[in-house]
Amino acid sequence: MAKVLTSREENYAQWYNDLVLKSGLAENSAVRGCMVIKPYGYAIWEKMRDELDRMFKATGHENAYFPLFIPKSFFSREANHVEGFAKECAVVTHYRLKTDEESGEIIVDPDAKLEEELIVRPTSETIIWNTYKNWVQSYRDLPILINQWANVVRWEMRTRLFLRTTEFLWQEGHTAHATRQEAEDETTQMVNIYADFAERFLGIPVLVGSKTESEKFAGAVETLTIEALMQDGKALQAGTSHFLGQNFAKAFDVQFTNREGKLDHVWATSWGMTTRMIGALIMAHSDNNGLVLPPRVAPIQVVIVPIYRGNDELPPIAEVANKMKDELTALGISVKFDDRDTQKPGWKFAEYELKGVPVRIAIGPRDIKNGTVELARRDTLEKKVMPQEGISNYIKELLEEIQENIYQKALNFRDKSTHEVDSWDELVDVLENKGGFALAYWDGTLESEDRIKETKASIRCLLKDAEPKEGRCVVSGKPSKQRVVIAKAY
C-alpha cells in the first residue's frame, strides 16, 4: 500500500481529512455538510456508545427517545435558548410534494403548509420539558434521570468530518430534581463521568472546568466542560454538562409539590457528548502512518496476518492462528485472522497500521518451525519475535500497557504545551507561536474576554479545582483571583 497521507507537519488539516477518508472512518455525503459514517468509524462509535451507556446506567440513568421534530412555539418559551440556536435551526414548513402541471418538476405543494412549523432537533430541552410536565406532580416522582441516544441537526456553514457537521450523532441526558443541590451534584457527576471516559477509555487527558457567562450553553445557569488538547496545539471541547436551574421548568410550567407541601418548580440538568469525540481520538493520538487507537476503543485489537507462498503452507499457519484467535477471544480480546488471498502481507501490514490496530501478529513457515510469531505494536511501531507459548496472556497485558502509554504520551504533550503567562505579550506569543493552553489571569469582565477573542482564541474554562491565587488580568491589569485556560480551539 503506497503512502496515502499528507504529513501532519506539511498540512495538519489535510492530514486529518486524509486520515478520516483513507482509514475508512467516514466520507462526505450527497447532502452538503453531512457525512456517511462507514462501518469502521461506526464500530468505534459503538464501542464509545456502549461504554458510556454502561457508565450512565451504573449511575441510575435510563434511556428513552423523544421526537425529532419540535414545534417552533416551544423555542420561544426560553428566550436565551432560542437566541442561542436560532441561526442553526432547520425548519419544516410543508408536508407534501407534488408534480407541477406545466413543467413536470417535483415541487412543494403550497396547499400542504403546516399549521405550525417544526424545528428539526438541534437539542431536545424544549420537547423534553414539555413532556416532563405530564410526568411530575410531587417530589415522589423525582428525580427523573433520562438519557437519549439520537441524531441532531445544526445548520453549519463550514463543516469538517466528525468535528463539525450539519447532522451528527450524540447522547443527551436530561434530568429533573427536587432540589438545587441535587441538580448541581448531578451536573458535576456527569462532567466527571465524561472526564473519566475520555481519560480511561479514549486515552485523552482533559481539563475540567466551567465556561464563562458568554460561552455557556444557551439557557443554562452554569456549563461545565472537559477540554482536550490536540496535537496541533488547539483545544477541543469534548463534552459538556449544564446546570439549567429552574429556567426550563418555569418556561414549561413543570411544578411539583415538595416535601413541605408547597408548590415549586423542578431543578434541571442536561449533558451531552457527540461523534466529535472520534475527531478528538484521531487528533490526540494519530501519526503520519495512520490512526493510533487505544485498545479499549479499537474495533480490532489484534490482527493476525499469515505469511506464505504456496497454498500448502497456509493450513499449518491457519491452525496456529485460529488456536491463538480462540485463546485471545476467550480473554475478551477482539481478533481478526486476515487470511485473504487477494492482498499481499505487506499491503495488509500497511492497512492495519493505517487503521490503528494496536497489535499485529505475523506468522510464517519459519515461525511454525520455531514456535514463534512476529509481534508489532502500533503505538511505538516496535517489532519483536516472541514464543507462541503464553502469547495470549502476554498480549492481554500488552494491550493494557499500550492503553497507558498512549494516554501518558498525550498527557506529556499537554503538560509540555501548557504555559503560565503573566502579560498580554506572553499570551499572544503562546497563541501565535507556541500553541497549547495558556494559563492567564482574567478580571472576569466581558470587555477583557472580547479582547482575548480578537486573537481568535477564547477562554476555554475556569478550572474547577484551581486554588485561588492573586494576580493581575493580562488584558486590563486589574486584580484577579484565578488563572483561566485560554487557547485557540476547534
Tell me how far apart the alpha carbons of residues 413 and 434 are, in angstroms, rounded to a whole number.
12
- pLDDT tens, residue by residue, 351-368: 999 999 999 999 999 999
Q: Is 150 a residue whose pLDDT tops 80?
A: yes
Q: pLDDT at residue 1 above 60?
A: no
CB contact set of 336 (below 8 Å; sequence gap of 6+): 300, 302, 303, 304, 357
The C-alpha atoms of residue 195 and residue 201 are separated, in whole angstroms, by 10
35 has pLDDT over 70: yes
Q: Specify whether domain 12-70+121-285 bears CATH 3.40.50.740.
A: no
Architecture of domain 418-487: 2-Layer Sandwich (3.30)
Q: In this predicted structure, what is the pLDDT of residue 449?
A: 98
Alpha carbon distances (Å) from 70 to 88, 124, 244? 14, 8, 19
Q: Where in the chain is the domain with CATH 3.30.930.10?
A: 12-70+121-285
Q: Which residue has the higher pLDDT, 302 or 467?
A: 302
| More confident site: 204 or 467 | 204
Which residues, at least 6 apart from 115, have a Cβ–Cβ distance to it below 8 Å?
A: none
Q: Give pLDDT tens digits for 371-429.
A: 999 999 999 999 999 999 999 999 999 999 999 999 999 999 999 999 999 999 999 99
Q: What share of the chain is helix, strand, coil (3-state, %, to 5)?
A: 35, 30, 35
Q: How far apart are CA 420 and CA 440, in angstroms?
A: 6
Please tell me the predicted confidence (pLDDT) of residue 83.
79
| Nearest CA-CA partner of 401 in 431, 377, 368 | 377
Which range has the worst mean pLDDT, 1-5, 337-341, 420-424, 431-435? Answer: 1-5
Confidence band of 157 (pLDDT split at 50, 70, 90): confident
How much is the average pLDDT of 126-145?
97
pTM of the model: 0.95
Bridge partners (DSSP) listed for residue 372:
387
Query: Given pLDDT bands bounded at 50, 70 and 90, which one contains residue 3?
Result: low
pLDDT value of position 76: 83
Query: Quick one: pLDDT band at residue 28, thresholds 50, 70, 90?
Result: very high
C-alpha cell at 65: 427517545
Portions of the chain given CATH number 3.40.50.800: 302-398
User: What was the pLDDT predicted at 82?
Assistant: 73
Q: Are 118 and 70 in contact (CB under 8 A)?
A: yes
Residue ranges of the chain assigned to CATH 3.30.110.30: 418-487
Residue 328 has pLDDT above 90, yes or no: yes
The pLDDT value given to residue 290: 98
Check residue 84 and give its pLDDT.
78
| Separation CA 459–CA 456 (nearest Å) | 11
Instruction: List Cβ neighbours of 79 (8 Å cut-off, separation of 6 or more).
Output: none
- Options 2.40.30.10, 3.40.50.800, 3.10.580.10, 1.10.490.10; which CATH number does 302-398 get? 3.40.50.800
Phi, psi of 465 (to 5 degrees): -110, 20
* pLDDT more than 90, % of the chain: 94
Q: Report the pLDDT averaged over residues 135-153.
A: 98
Distance of CA 146 to the CA centre of its chain: 20
